């Protein structure tokens, strides 16, 4: 195969031009040899490459088809500065036809090209960069689009459809086991209140498979609420889910729920008094929050002792949902209020 021999010092400028001029054989990998980049070129391109002042040599190039996407991405962007090349994300999240990668320092100068390569190698319509996770009361993602324009995704998971805009509302793929668990609960005849419904993360699997009598799904973020409403319709659970746009602290009903979902973290304990107001005696609260790994059980017990005073409770189970930060995890505690 013909290979264009490009000095590594010129690769960042020359190789994108060769690709744009359609001179590169994209079915083969770009490789590195000492201070050179060896670029597989089309049979008809050799003379043009030589006219540009570069040597064309014979050699072998590995097929991209059998190459992991991580290697293909590195190969396609091998002309980038070495420090930037070593920072390229080798893990990503698929959300429908959208790929989300993490931000890394220095990418801005090359983000258009990086977006194009990730889109091509991962067969994505849109590539987004997670700039800094989620923030604020509404847990809004800090997302930047670097390729494509389509930001509305459809995720199908265990028989449930979730539609949402990745730039407007969060979706935590790490909570998948907890969403599965909600589907496997026996909620026959129960009234369930989801205090932080979002787009229906826990409401939808529970409503669709756990046989509740009714689910009251409360959400105050308008963007998330609009997707909650459409997701309820698309999943065929309109007859048992009532979406509510508003703050769960404004619910004035008492002893309403057999079960309360508190799928929020970091500030969840501030909402426990409102959960206790709406839970029936004997009802179960699914309390999500973050705790240090070795102290979570004692902290959860302390949270409920302080909130309940003389009232009794029983911790039925505690599960780790996912790692949250070094030595900190997201837990969910099933707590029966007696």
pLDDT tens for residues 287-323?
Answer: 999 999 999 999 999 999 999 999 999 999 999 999 9
Domain ranges (residues) in the chain:
1-81, 172-337
Residue 28 DSSP code: B
Coil, strand, or helix at residue 236?
coil
Res. 65 pLDDT band, cuts 50 70 90: low
Strand partners, 98: 95, 126
Q: Is 90 exceeded by the pLDDT of residue 119? A: yes
CA–CA separation, 282 and 257 (whole Å): 10
Mean pLDDT across 92-103: 92
Largest CA distance in the chain: 87
Token look-up 């689009």 returns: 145
DSSP per-residue letters across 119-156? HHHHT-SEEEEEEEEEETTTTEEEEEEEE-S--EEEEE
Residue with token string 């083969």: 28
**Cβ contacts of residue 334 below 8 Å, gap of 6+?**
284, 285, 286, 287, 315, 316, 317, 318
Residue whose structure tokens are 């801005």: 108
Q: Does the predicted TM-score (pTM) go above 0.85?
A: no
Quote the mean pLDDT of the chain. Answer: 92
Interatomic CA distance for residues 26 and 218, integer angstroms:
50
State the average pLDDT over residues 20-45.
Answer: 84
pLDDT > 70 fraction of the chain, expressed in percent and rounded: 98
Which CATH architecture group holds 1-81? 2-Layer Sandwich (3.30)
Task: Please state the separation of Cα 107 from the chain's center in Å.
Answer: 20
Which pair of tokens denotes residue 152? 């509305």
Pick the CATH number of 172-337 from 1.20.140.10, 3.10.20.90, 1.10.760.10, 3.40.50.150: 3.40.50.150
- Per-residue pLDDT, averaged over 146-162, amounts to 92
Tell me which H or E stretch contains 258: strand 257-262
Q: What is the rounded distance in angstroms from the CA atom of residue 223 to the CA atom of residue 220?
A: 9
Measured between alpha carbons, how far apart are the two ends of the chain, in Å?
A: 75
Say how far apart CA 80 and CA 13 lie, in whole Å.
Answer: 9
pLDDT digits (tens, 9 = 90+) for 261-294: 999 998 999 999 999 999 999 999 999 999 999 9
pLDDT tens profile 179-211 = 999 999 999 999 999 999 999 999 999 999 999
CA 281 from chain center: how many Å? 36
Task: Report the C-alpha gap between 17 and 316 in whole angstroms.
Answer: 63
Please name the residue ranges forming H helices in 62-130: 69-76, 82-85, 111-122
- Look at 20 and 159; give whichever has higher pLDDT: 159
């Amino acid at each position: 195969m013909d290979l264009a021999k490009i000095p590594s010092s010129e690769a960042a400028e020359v190789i994108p031009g060769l690709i744009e001029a359609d001179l590169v054989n994209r079915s083969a990998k770009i490789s590195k040899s000492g201070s050179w980049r060896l670029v597989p070129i089309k049979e008809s391109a050799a003379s043009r490459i030589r006219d540009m002042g570069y040597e064309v040599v014979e050699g072998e190039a590995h097929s991209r088809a059998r190459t992991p996407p991580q290697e293909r991405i590195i190969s396609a962007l091998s002309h980038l500065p070495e420090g930037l090349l070593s920072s390229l994300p080798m893990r990503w999240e698929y959300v429908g036809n959208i790929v989300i990668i993490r931000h890394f320092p220095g990418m801005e100068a090359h983000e258009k090209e990086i977006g194009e390569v990730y889109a091509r190698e991962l067969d994505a319509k849109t590539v987004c960069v997670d700039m800094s996770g989620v923030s604020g009361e509404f847990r809004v993602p800090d997302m930047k689009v670097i390729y494509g324009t389509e930001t509305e995704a459809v995720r199908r998971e265990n028989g449930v459809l979730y539609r949402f805009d990745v730039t407007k509302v969060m979706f935590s793929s790490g909570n998948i086991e907890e969403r599965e668990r909600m589907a496997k609960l026996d909620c026959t005849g129960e009234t369930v209140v989801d205090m932080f419904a979002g787009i229906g993360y826990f409401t939808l699997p529970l409503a669709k498979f756990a046989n509740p009598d009714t689910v009251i799904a409360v959400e105050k973020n308008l963007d998330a609420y609009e997707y909650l409403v459409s997701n309820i319709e698309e999943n065929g659970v309109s007859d048992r889910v009532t979406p509510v746009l508003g703050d769960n602290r404004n619910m004035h009903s008492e002893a309403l729920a057999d079960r309360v979902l508190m799928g929020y973290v970091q500030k969840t304990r501030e909402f426990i008094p409102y959960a206790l107001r709406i839970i029936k005696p004997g009802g179960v609260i699914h309390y999500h929050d973050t705790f240090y790994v070795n102290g979570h059980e004692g902290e959860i017990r302390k949270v409920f002792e302080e909130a309940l005073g003389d009232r009794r409770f029983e911790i039925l189970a505690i599960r780790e949902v996912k790692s949250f930060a070094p030595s900190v995890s997201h837990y969910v505690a099933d707590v029966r209020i007696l």
